[in-house]
Amino acid sequence: MDNGASSYHRFLNGDESGFDEIIHLYRENLIFFINRYVGNYYTAEDLAEDAFLELLLHPKRYDFKRSLKTYLFTIARNKAVDYIRHNKRLIQFSADPKETGAFSSVEDKYLINEKHRELHKALNSLKADYKTAIHLVFFEDMSNEEAAAVMRKNKKQVENLLYRAKLSLRTILEKEDKIER
């Protein structure tokens, strides 16, 4: 069993700290993932809480046959899609890449932030399925099979989406680079 599933199993057996561990393991990544759909950090936080609440209220729905992370991200995706469906006019984009690590100088920090901004801009211009596949596989370290389960696709479809997404990203980034020169 993966770490999340063992914590959930402990929680189901009465150990309340098990659920705290699940929240600690997946909260930030889940918010980041949902934010890619809804484009609003605060809404993403609310939807992540809803996903955890779903896990609490319906414990028998999880069958321990797949990883808890895959199951939780599937719930989160469904919550995000439902939110988008019901609030199409309200969705606005707000992407601020997270700052990580120490920088040697102000110039280095600026250049790194600019590259993050360009990458996030390019990612957000991709088709929805491309963005989702890239996020799950590269940001969440999910296997293609796990990403396929979250996206309700088969492994080959996810592989094709990743291939096309990488090509699209390369094209977008090359085009932006030529414009700036």
When the pLDDT of each residue in the chain is averaged and rounded to a whole number, the result is: 81
Question: In this predicted model, what pLDDT tens digit does every residue of 22-34 receive, in sequence order?
Answer: 999 999 999 999 9
The confidence band for 108, taking pLDDT boundaries of 50, 70 and 90, is low
Q: Which amino acid is at 1?
A: M
Cα–Cα distance for residue pair 29/34, rounded to 1 Å:
9
Domains detected in the chain? 1-94 (1.10.1740.10), 99-181 (1.10.10.10)
pLDDT at 84: 87
Length of the chain: 181
The confidence band for 107, taking pLDDT boundaries of 50, 70 and 90, is low
Cα–Cα distance for residue pair 34/28, rounded to 1 Å:
10
Cα–Cα distance for residue pair 70/68, rounded to 1 Å:
5
Distance set, CA 35 to CA 21, 137, 145, 151 (Å): 22, 16, 22, 16
Distance set, CA 51 to CA 28, 29, 46, 71, 80 (Å): 13, 13, 9, 10, 10
The whole-number average pLDDT for the span 140-144 is 87
pLDDT at 97: 42
pLDDT at 119: 76
The confidence band for 62, taking pLDDT boundaries of 50, 70 and 90, is confident
Find all residues with CB under 8 Å of 1, minimum gap 6, and list them.
9, 64
